[in-house]
């Protein structure tokens, strides 16, 4: 029997970008893979927008980790692929994932990332993100994390914390082997970088990651992430 992907997309007021993301997944749906949208209480019609473009649309308490765990709990696929609402997969993503995992005997992995903006510093950001991930074995949500469902369940799923849930899951998954680091790229929005300033966002993300590794409370880090002006204080 052909292996099947369950693509799980956590959503909160993502109507502006969601149609493009879901439309790009229709070929995968036609190939037998499923798309699950998990809405965290959107007020912009994101859930209704998803009805005809996804196999399942469910409601959840807000919080990316809770939403992704909720989607995983109803998924029917052999491999779970967690995708941000503003991120598009490369062509033949199913073949890349399933064949790569089988041939290299990997249980989980991620793609390289390409940011949408044209600012020259974003090219450096992409390169460093992909290199750091390849060297450390740590994946971020922007890279489209995929994992065998049984391994995801054995690892305990995403920790229900407000930030860095992807980093923590990666640490857990490394116990089951190194990730499959696909060089094909997911295309993700650089809207946050452009809104808050590229250099400022780079410094913020580095600082948040360092603070997390040093034991800072994820809830406080999430507040800084959502309101970068707090970072100065």
**Which pLDDT tens digit goes with each residue over 13-44?**
999 999 999 999 999 999 999 999 999 999 99
State the average pLDDT over residues 119-124.
90
Cα radius of gyration (the chain) = 17
Residue 195 burial (10 A CB sphere; 0-12, 13-18, 19+): exposed
CA distances from 225 to 47, 131, 134, 211, 230 (A): 25, 23, 24, 12, 9
On whether the CB atoms of residues 40 and 60 are closer than 8 A, the answer is: yes
Q: Where are the beta strands (DSSP E) in 63-189?
A: 79-82, 87-88, 108-115, 145-148, 180-188
On whether the CB atoms of residues 8 and 80 are closer than 8 A, the answer is: yes
pTM of the entire predicted model: 0.88
pLDDT tens string 76-88: 999 999 999 999 9
What is the token pair recorded at 43?
A: 């007020």
pLDDT tens string 159-183: 988 788 999 999 999 999 999 999 9
Angle, CA of 150, 151 and 152, to the nearest 5°: 90
Delineate the domains of the chain, giving CATH numbers in brackets. Answer: 5-194 (3.90.550.10)
CA distances from 217 to 190, 210, 212 (A): 26, 12, 7
pLDDT tens string 174-228: 999 999 999 999 999 988 777 767 777 777 777 666 666 666 666 666 666 666 5
pLDDT tens string 124-153: 989 999 999 999 999 999 999 999 999 999
Q: What pairing do the DSSP bridges indicate for beta strands 180-188 and 87-88?
A: antiparallel
Backbone angles phi, psi at 121, to 5 degrees: -70, -25
The C-alpha atoms of residue 221 and residue 209 are separated, in whole angstroms, by 9
State the average pLDDT over residues 71-98.
97
The C-alpha atoms of residue 133 and residue 103 are separated, in whole angstroms, by 21
């Amino acid at each position: 029997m052909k292996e099947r992907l369950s693509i799980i997309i956590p959503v909160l007021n993502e109507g502006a970008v969601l149609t493009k993301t879901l439309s790009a997944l229709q070929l995968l749906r036609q190939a037998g893979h499923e798309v699950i949208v998990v809405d965290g209480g959107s007020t912009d019609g994101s859930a209704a927008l998803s009805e005809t473009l996804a196999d399942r649309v469910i409601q959840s308490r807000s919080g990316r980790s809770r939403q992704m765990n909720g989607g995983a709990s109803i998924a029917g696929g052999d491999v779970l692929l967690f995708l941000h609402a503003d991120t598009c997969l490369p062509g033949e993503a199913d073949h890349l994932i399933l064949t790569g995992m089988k041939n290299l005997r990997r249980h989980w992995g991620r793609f390289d990332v390409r940011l949408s903006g044209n600012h020259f510093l974003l090219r450096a950001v992409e390169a460093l993100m992909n290199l750091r991930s390849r060297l450390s074995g740590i994946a971020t949500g922007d890279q489209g994390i995929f994992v065998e469902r049984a391994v995801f369940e054995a690892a305990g799923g995403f920790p229900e914390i407000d930030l860095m849930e992807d980093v923590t899951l990666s640490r857990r998954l490394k116990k089951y082997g190194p990730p499959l680091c696909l060089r094909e790229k997911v295309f993700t929005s650089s809207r946050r970088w452009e809104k808050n300033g590229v250099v400022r966002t780079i410094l913020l993300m580095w600082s948040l990651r360092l603070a997390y590794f040093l034991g800072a409370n994820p809830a406080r880090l999430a507040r800084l992430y959502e309101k970068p002006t707090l970072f100065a204080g």
